[in-house]
Amino acid sequence: MLRWGRGARPAAKLRWLVQCRRLVVLDSSRFQQIISNEGCALRNSAYAGDPLATISFARRGLSLETLARRLLERLYDNHATQDAEYDGDGQRNLGQAKFDWIFMGRRVELKTSQLCFDKGLNSWKVVFYKVKLARDGCRAEQPFDDLYLLIYAPDGFFLVKHDLKTGVTKTGSRTATLGHNIKVTSKRGQICWKEALHIILDKLTLRGGCVVVSYVPKSDPLVQTLYAEVLNKAYHAKCKFYDGIPLFTLNSVIRAHRIQEIAYQLDQLENPDSVFRSAKGEVTPYGYTRGGSNAAVDWIRDKVRVEVKSSTLCIRARDNRWFCRFSGIREGSNDDGTNPYFDELWLAIYHPGGIDFFKHWNWRDTLSTCGQATCALGKLLIVTAGAQSDGPSDAFKSIKAQLESRGAEHYVALRWTSECRQA
């Protein structure tokens, strides 16, 4: 592998590298086991025909928040929920919302989760992310008074008032910035979702101090209204372009893990004589041993440390432009000018046509910060398509051209096949 010392690679040499290597185009059926594994099949079977299960993770969260507010208002007659007040200009921007709404004079935070099967754990689970609890020395003040959890199950919805203790887990060094997670699982080997859901609810209410304040089946008028709204908006914005596309209904964390698995196999195919190993077990500067979930890099090929960052090709509401946002990129500087965190940065763009992988060599010059969270979360790499881009195909071409002009090498193009679309 060619290496340069301090600074970026010369532009002429970068162009030479890109020209000398031919793009590899593969069909997605080669990775069908990753794209449609057993856990995904079990989930798809349980939620078959449910339109809420086919929309994006972000849109589903907004729909479930609407349902939770309506449930509380119905439970307590004559009490309406009030929108939270936000910092700055009153607009709800990322990082400004301290809680979701006010109800009966109390600040309420809602977290939602779909009951999903985890193949690695061989069990069903619910996970609620980024709960900013005042515990474990992470923050002095909690930004809300009451925490509600909404569980989306195949047969309906459970609204649970949480006790701020049950199932709470830390997220390593990110806990202070992002918050805790709440994770509750069923027994290993429990395939039946109904029995698994019963176990999960028992863990929350019998072993813990949580309370199920409401359950509504899908036949409930509130739910029927919600589903009608979902169907009316099903083809709005980017959702119409991703209809039926593999991996789209997964949450962003799970989808990123699947893309990382594909990237790992691609690297093994390209380098069959190399030795691959996990970064799990490395010791941090603080003396802690890293586990698989917080490894410093995604894998090590021979002595090359490889990091993969992925982004969904999205459309930005404020200006109707397509963009990609790669987050969590850490940089530093060794004595020889190299990055102490990784040697190779792979960028994966997930879009309606497939997944495209780039090796980015000149990435340092294109990073931006994310405020106070930069130290814990790393930096961002954002690429916006041209204003004249007509749909995701044109937008991808525009973003691809920008990446290549900045020193990225288009490495592999993975294209969806009918088998994967139907899985």
With beta carbons less than 8 A apart as the criterion, state whether 157 and 215 touch.
Answer: yes
More confident residue, 78 or 382: 382
Last-in-domain residue among 187, 204, 233 = 233
Q: How far apart are CA 281 and CA 285, in angstroms?
A: 13
**Residues 360, 168: Cα–Cα separation, whole Å:** 37
**pLDDT confidence band for 35 (50 / 70 / 90):** confident
Q: Provide the pLDDT confidence category of residue 422 given band limits of 50, 70 and 90.
A: low
The band of 12, judged by pLDDT with boundaries at 50, 70 and 90, is very low
What confidence category does residue 353 fall into, taking pLDDT thresholds of 50, 70 and 90? very high
Same domain, 66 and 197: yes
Q: How confident is the model at residue 268 (pLDDT cuts 50, 70, 90)?
A: very high
Q: What is the CA radius of gyration of the chain?
A: 23
User: pLDDT value at position 155?
Assistant: 95
pLDDT at residue 337, rounded to an integer? 59
| Judgement on whether residues 204 and 294 belong to the same structural domain of the protein | no
- pLDDT tens figures, 108-131: 999 999 999 988 888 999 999 999
What pLDDT shows up at residue 261? Answer: 94
So what's the pLDDT on residue 86?
Answer: 60
Mark whether 128 and 178 lie in a shared domain. Answer: yes
Categorize the per-residue pLDDT at 392 as very low, low, confident or very high, splitting at 50, 70 and 90: very high
Res 394 pLDDT > 80: yes
Whether residues 22 and 141 fall in one domain: no
Give me the pLDDT at residue 230, please.
80
Specify the higher pLDDT residue, 290 or 159: 159
Q: Are 392 and 348 in a shared domain?
A: yes
Report pLDDT for 22.
65
Q: At what angle do helices 57-75 and 221-232 cross, to 10 degrees?
A: 150
Q: What is the mean pLDDT of residues 304-333?
A: 88
Query: Range with the lowest mean pLDDT among 133-137, 204-208, 223-227, 365-369?
Result: 365-369
Last residue of a domain, one of 176, 205, 233: 233
CA triple 201-105-229, angle to 5 deg = 60
Structural domain includes residue 3 = no
**281 and 213 share one domain:** no
Whether residue 64 sits in one domain with residue 31: no
| Sequence-ordered list of residues with C-beta below 8 angstroms from that of 202, at least 6 positions apart, any chain | none
pLDDT over 90 at 232, yes or no: no
Q: What are phi and psi of 32, to 5 degrees?
A: -60, -30
Q: Are 349 and 400 within one domain?
A: yes
Residue 214 has pLDDT above 70, yes or no: yes
| pLDDT, mean of residues 204-232 | 92
> What is the pLDDT averaged over residues 306-334?
86
- Please check whether residue 96 lies inside any domain of the structure: yes
**Burial (0-12, 13-18, 19+ Cβ within 10 Å), 149:** buried
Any domain includes 43: no
pLDDT of residue 32: 85
Answer with the residue of higher pLDDT: 201 or 278.
201
Angstrom CA distances, 331 to 34, 342, 343, 369, stand at 30, 8, 11, 11
93 in a domain, yes or no? yes
Average pLDDT over residues 242-256: 82
pLDDT exceeds cutoff 60 at 19: no
DSSP-H helix ranges across 174-329: 175-178, 193-202, 221-232, 252-270
224 and 291 in a common domain: no
* DSSP SS3 for 378: coil
Count of structural domains within the chain: 2
89 pLDDT tier (thresholds 50, 70, 90) = very low
Task: Report the pLDDT averaged over residues 92-103.
Answer: 70
240 falls within a domain: no
Whether the per-residue pLDDT at 21 is higher than 80: the answer is no
Instruction: Print the domain residue range for 284.
Output: 11-35+246-422
When pLDDT is cut at 50, 70 and 90, the band that residue 105 belongs to is very high
pLDDT at 5 over 60: no
End-of-domain residue from the set 211, 233, 255: 233
Average pLDDT, the chain: 83
Inside any domain, residue 285:
yes
- Does 133 map to a domain? yes
pLDDT at 27 over 90: no
Contacts of 208 (CB under 8 A, 6+ apart): 163, 165, 166, 167
Q: Which of 64-73, 96-105, 128-137, 360-369 has the lowest mean pLDDT?
A: 360-369
Query: Do 268 and 184 share a domain, yes or no?
Result: no
Under 8 Å between Cβ of 405 and 341: no
Tell me: do 304 and 227 sit in the same domain: no
Is 129 inside a domain boundary? yes
Same domain, 269 and 376: yes
Top mean pLDDT of 165-169, 320-324, 370-374, 387-391 is at 165-169
Higher pLDDT, 260 or 420: 260
